[in-house]
Amino acid sequence: MLWLVHTDTTLTDAAKAVGFHDDYARAVVRDYNRDGADGLRHPRKDQRPQQSRSWLNLEQLKALEARLQSPPDDDGVWSGPKVAHVIAEVTGVTKVWPQRGWDYLKRLEQSLQVPRPRPRKGDPEAQAALKKTPGA
């Protein structure tokens, strides 16, 4: 939009070309004229501290991977909430969302090894009779 305004296009036409409202386009041009390219930065982006995208560092990740080799405390299978609980214990955080546990299961290439559910009222003889036999 600034380039269009620079090439002698009216502010209203430049704003329409890029889909901005006239008032917002005026504010952008005003901030650019006042502060230069720094005036185009979003002020909230500068206020947030840079955060790591990972809950665990490399040592903790290796420890979690080793912990996943043994069964969980309830002797079931590892799930997202169980891994999230382990991450909370390791990091000292009070709450880690279950989705983060699932993310770490996937990152460590672990998967839920749960067999397919079987119908409770299934009759094996009736099921065998319904199967097609070769040559029939």
Residues 103 and 63 in one domain: yes
Share of the chain above pLDDT 90, in %: 19
Residues 70 and 94 in one domain: yes
Q: Does 126 map to a domain? A: no
Q: Domain range holding 9?
A: 2-42
Output the six-digit token pair for 119.
Answer: 């119908």
What is the rounded average pLDDT of the residues 56-77? 86
* 84 vs 96: CA distance, rounded Å: 5
Residues 63 and 35 in one domain: no
Q: How many domains does the chain have?
A: 2
Residues 6+ apart with CB under 8 A from 68: 78, 83, 105, 108, 110
pLDDT of 92 higher than 60? yes
Q: Does 73 map to a domain? A: yes
Higher-confidence position of 131 and 11: 11
Q: Does 53 map to a domain? A: no
Q: By mean pLDDT, which of 22-26, 27-31, 92-96 is the weakest?
A: 92-96
Q: Does 48 map to a domain? A: no
User: DSSP letter string over 30-72?
Assistant: HHHHHHGGGGGS-HHHHHSPP--S-SS-HHHHHHHHHHTTS--
**pLDDT confidence tier of residue 30, bands split at 50, 70 and 90:** very high
Q: Does 74 map to a domain? A: yes
Task: Count Cβ atoms within 10 A of the Cβ of residue 25 and give its class: 0-12 exposed, 13-18 middle, 19 or more buried.
Answer: buried
